[in-house]
Amino acid sequence: MNYSAIPSAALAIALSISTSNAEVESLDPIKITTHDWSGQIITTTIMGEVLKRAGYNIEYVQADYIAQFAGLKTGDLHVAMEIWETTGREAMDEAIETGNVVSLGESGMIAIEEWWYPSYMEKVCPGLPNWEALKECSEEFSVAETAPLGRYLGAPVTWGGFDEERIEALELGFEVIHAGTDAALFAELESAYQRKAPIILWLYEPHWAPAKYEGKFIEFPPYSADCYQAPATGINPEAAYDCGKPTGPIWKVAWAGLGEKWPGAAKAISSFNVSNAEMSAMITKVDLESQSVDAVVGEWLKTNEDRWNDWIK
């Protein structure tokens, strides 16, 4: 937090004793958004800390994942580090179309999301993770509200995913129950896992859950754009969505004015790149081993000094 009334004398002192010598284009703070999941905060903090070392001023602003686009368009916010192909594509495209938001490329992480089950279900439903096994044992997943259909716990309605269509197209005996938020999704998984009770649900990566719980993603027929659009493609010639979900990159986006005001920062953000494995390891440390984000990010910065020095060159 910066107290806005800055006496110029104090500013002069501040500048003279500052530890960073790098010349940057503007000392105005670059506002980077944070959301409410650890992975995104880790990504953002890595970027923020790297930029700080390059001499930029960084302000982390907490904002809603979708609502932030309104701020990015007007320049209230400057950078968003994680826009998932799977959940944010629509909003991102819409924003980029206005010309006020630009994409800074992929983050190196790939978003994976699919139906997921805990390993102990393989005993009652042999043949998993092949999706065809689900045809035989959908009843194993049923509860009072859905019987005789199996219960598939889907993501919040707004996340899309076409699971109702997929069930129809692949003729699976399941009913989709939508969780309202992903916290509810994982609460149910935790509960079922404790009791070793049947469950099949939507999960995504990078996330701590696949690290904490033993299980696998269902292997559906591989995704293709045609499968989603043309009914003729795929196993069921009469229906679209007869395949798995697409995977896709996690994107970085920024306010269109970023490159002009802070060209060096824009270049650094474009170069930012971490892998799923790295991210999953960091998320696990934060969410499951209760380490602080700052500590985990600090460790990463120490071990990867060459990499991030390259970004800000």
Partner 1 sequence: MSIHFPNGLRKPVYFWLFLFTCTWLLSNYSFTLYKALGARWIIKFPSAWEWQLDVWISSFMTWLVEDAGFGLFTFRQLTRFLSALIEAPYNAMRALLADGFNSGLGQHAVEIFPAMSWVAITLLLVLLALCVGGRSLALLVGGCFLYLATFGQWQSAMVTLASIAIAVPIGVIGGLVLGILAYRSERFERLQRPVLDLMQTVPIFAYLVPILFLFGFGPVSALVATIIYAMPPMVRVVLVALQSVPEPLHEAGRMAGCTPRQMMWRVLLPSALPTLMVGVNQVIMLSLNMVIIASIIGAGGLGYDVLAALRRLDIGGGIEAGMAIVVIAIALDRLSQAFTKSDSSPNQSFGFVRSKPLLYFVIALMVTITMALLGKVWPVVQNYPEPMVLTTGRFWDEVIKWININFFEVFETVKTALLTYFLLPVKRFFVGIPWAWGIIALGLAGWRVSGAKLGLLCAALAGAIAANGLWREAMIAVYLCGVSVLLATAVGIPLGVWAGQSESANKILSTLVDTLQTLPSFVYLIPVVMLFRVGEFTAMVAIVIYAMAPALRYAAHGIREINPQVIEAGKVSGCTHWQLLWRIKLPLAVPSLLLGLNQTIMLALSMLVITALVGTRDLGQEVYIALTKANTGQGIVAGLAVAFIAIIADRILSALAKSSQARLGLVT
Near partner 1 by CB under 8 A: residue from 191, 229, 275, 309: 191
Near partner 1 by CB under 8 A: residue from 15, 23, 97, 306: 15
Which residues, 24 to 43, sit near partner 1 by CB under 8 A?
27-29, 33, 36-38
Work out whether 181 is an interface residue with partner 1 (CB under 8 A). yes
- Which of residues 158 and 275 has its CB atom nearest to partner 1 in the complex? 158
55 and 24 Cβ atoms separated by less than 8 Å: yes
Which residue in the block uniquely carries the two structure tokens 């904490």? 212
Which residues, 226 to 255, sit near partner 1 by CB under 8 A?
none
The rounded radius of gyration (Å) of the Cα atoms in the chain is: 23
Near partner 1 by CB under 8 A: residue from 126, 127, 180, 263: 180
What is residue 99's three-state secondary structure?
coil
Work out whether 295 is an interface residue with partner 1 (CB under 8 A). no
Task: Give kind and range of the element (H or E) at residue 202.
Answer: strand 201-205
Near partner 1 by CB under 8 A: residue from 126, 130, 187, 222: 187
Near partner 1 by CB under 8 A: residue from 169, 179, 243, 274: 179
Burial class (CB in 10 A: 0-12, 13-18, 19+), 57: middle
Task: Give kind and range of the element (H or E) at residue 167.
Answer: helix 163-169
- Beta strand 215-217 with 101-118 is antiparallel
Residues 80-109, one symbol each (x = binds partner 1 by CB under 8 A, - = not), give: -----------x------------------
Task: Give kind and range of the element (H or E) at residue 113.
Answer: strand 101-118
Smallest distance from partner 1 to CB 179, Å:
5
168 Cβ partners below 8 Å, 6+ apart?
A: 239, 241
- Which of residues 132 and 287 has its CB atom nearest to partner 1 in the complex? 287
Query: Can you state the percent helix, strand and coil of the chain, rounding each to 5?
Result: 45, 20, 35
Binding residues for partner 1, rule: CB under 8 A, are 1-4, 6-7, 10-11, 13-15, 17-20, 27-29, 33, 36-38, 52, 56-59, 61-71, 76-77, 91, 143-145, 153, 156-158, 177-188, 190-191, 194-195, 197, 208, 286-288, 290
